[in-house]
Structure 1
């Protein structure tokens, strides 16, 4: 149990209780809005629920009936098709997408453009490539529809804690959606901002995630060094708890790392396989295009790729070369 006396289970119960209450900074008599939410996975459903708690009228759409039923239980309406979603929203309509980046986002925008009218707004809150967002904005502009790209951070904790949002798009569109952003954010005037024209929001979020790669890699390597120093038999969870307060390396990632170590000190049952969702690759590519050295972010991306190679041919070659030039022993499988 952590030294503050709160077990991980108790902490989760506390977070669930907080999530059931309206965000504390909200005045429910303030401006409310009608909005559609497409994509009711964990992020989309939690965002819809937070907005409903803030007094907004949310209509959600997801191909899965169980996802639609779940948000209805949390104060939202639902629609079983895009046509029904658009029909349930008053003009000018606002529709927020939380769907996978790439072809699904592009396809969803294409379908919405067939159904929306001039003055409506599409918000892409997923992790789209900023170049895709620039293209989507151009398509929308040709039809008089606003396109807002919102880089969204907060993960599964966003319902209780609020979301960090980096927003790109035309000023008029962003200002009209201010009540939505103020409700989703950790505070009305903190954790969100209009960072620039269309594409700027997802560009900023791309670099944010590149930095995240580097931070996570540094923590992982540091704790691995501590774990390998068997002479001291260090309690890694205790070390993490010490660093969480007053240390220059304290952060929310360290909080999460400490929680993970409390639950599973040996990381038992976890395969050393680390996925990436694309933003780290895009950040490295952008750094190369701009001639900006980014060795830490690049190395963290390469480490993720290396983690997936359970039959590393390159490592086998390294072992073979050491044997060839120095007679060093080869470890057999």
Structure 2
């Protein structure tokens, strides 16, 4: 198939290259000239403007957006005048599913198809393939099957239509919430072992042991073992953990649906806590203990 990839950051460019390797013809555009130049060096067909990129596509056109969530609407604003009824826009970024539903309705009014595709695979996707959670009209998704089969780890696994518009990004949101909990559990477990200094444990060795036969074996554990191999003491890494927003959306959805999700919620709160270099709450806790029990306050 022939399509355009809009957004040529690391993941977008990698996806475009995987599609090229699979025999698809990929046009690409990014507002940044360095990203366009790098993509061109990888064989992606680059035009100097978004208008020229879309004009080069045969009808009905397929446009895959791989842009940050906060510029999806502005990108759509630029795309819509260039598209015609029957064209399809795929949003492969981490958009909020409620916004994806609204965008689907907006494009449907213009006779366009909107497919929301939750995408997981990160920097390894080029070699290993991507997990694709797809929402949208069944007929529109079916037409795009060759693209999804190429991007996935295999033609028959790692991808699928999970429901109507919005379902793809909803599923990716829950996926990321689960990921938060898994990462937190691994981090806490290894922290306990690291603190047990009398055993002098080699944490990378433990991770490698668990990678085979253990109930907790996983790709995430593989990556953890690799991180410990490269930097056993985590030297030079600040204890500050970002969040992409999807963990927050998952917790909010759990509250809306009256679903208890304490592990995901606490893993999100721990990420927020990691950013407190000077915690007022902890200082107040120490003061309270002193007030009611006379416990010593550590001077800072």
**What's the TM-score, normalizing by structure 2?**
0.99
SS at match of 1:128: coil
Greater shift in the superposed pair: 70-79 or 167-176: 70-79
Does the residue aligned with 2:94 lie in a helix, a strand or coil? coil
**Greater mean alpha carbon deviation, residues 78-87 or residues 244-253:** 78-87
Aligned with residue 49 of structure 1, among 11, 17, 29 = 17
Cross-structure match for 2:214: 247
Alignment match of 2:45 (pick from 68, 71, 77) = 77
**Aligned twin of 1:36:** 4
Question: Structure 2 CA distance, aligned partners of 1:301 and 1:85?
Answer: 40
Equivalent-residue separation in structure 2 for 1:52 and 1:187 (angstroms): 16
1:89 aligns with 2:57: yes
Match of 1:157 in 2: 124
2:263 to 296, 315, 329: 296
Match of 1:232 among 196, 199, 202: 199
* Number of residue-to-residue matches in the alignment: 300
Segments of 5+ residues of structure 2 without an aligned counterpart are: none
Work out whether 1:63 is the aligned partner of 2:54: no
Match of 1:221 among 171, 188, 191: 188
| Equivalent residue in structure 1 for 2:162, among 187, 195, 204 | 195
Picking from 271, 276, 280, the partner of 2:243 is 276
TM superposition score normalised by structure 1: 0.89
2:106 counterpart residue number: 139
Deviations 1:195-224 (A, max 9, x none): 110000000000000000000000000000
The equivalent residue for 1:265 is 232
Counterpart among 275, 280, 292 of residue 313 in structure 1: 280
SS of 1:234's partner is coil
Aligned to 2:151: 184
Q: Distance in 1 between matches of 2:10 and 2:295?
A: 51
Shift of 1:124: 0.1
Aligned counterparts, 1:317-332, within 5 A: 317-332=284-299
The offset of 1:69, in angstroms, is 1.4
Cα displacement (A) at 1:88: 0.9
Instruction: Report the 3-state secondary structure (helix = DSSP H, G, I; strand = E; otherwise coil) of the residue aligned with 2:278.
Output: coil
Cα deviation, 1:243-290, whole Å, max 9, x if unaligned, reads 011000011110000000000000000000000011000000000000
Residues 59-80 of structure 1: per-residue CA shift (max 9 Å, x gap): 1100111211112111210122
* Cα deviation digits, residues 144-163 of structure 1 (max 9, x gap): 00000000000000000000
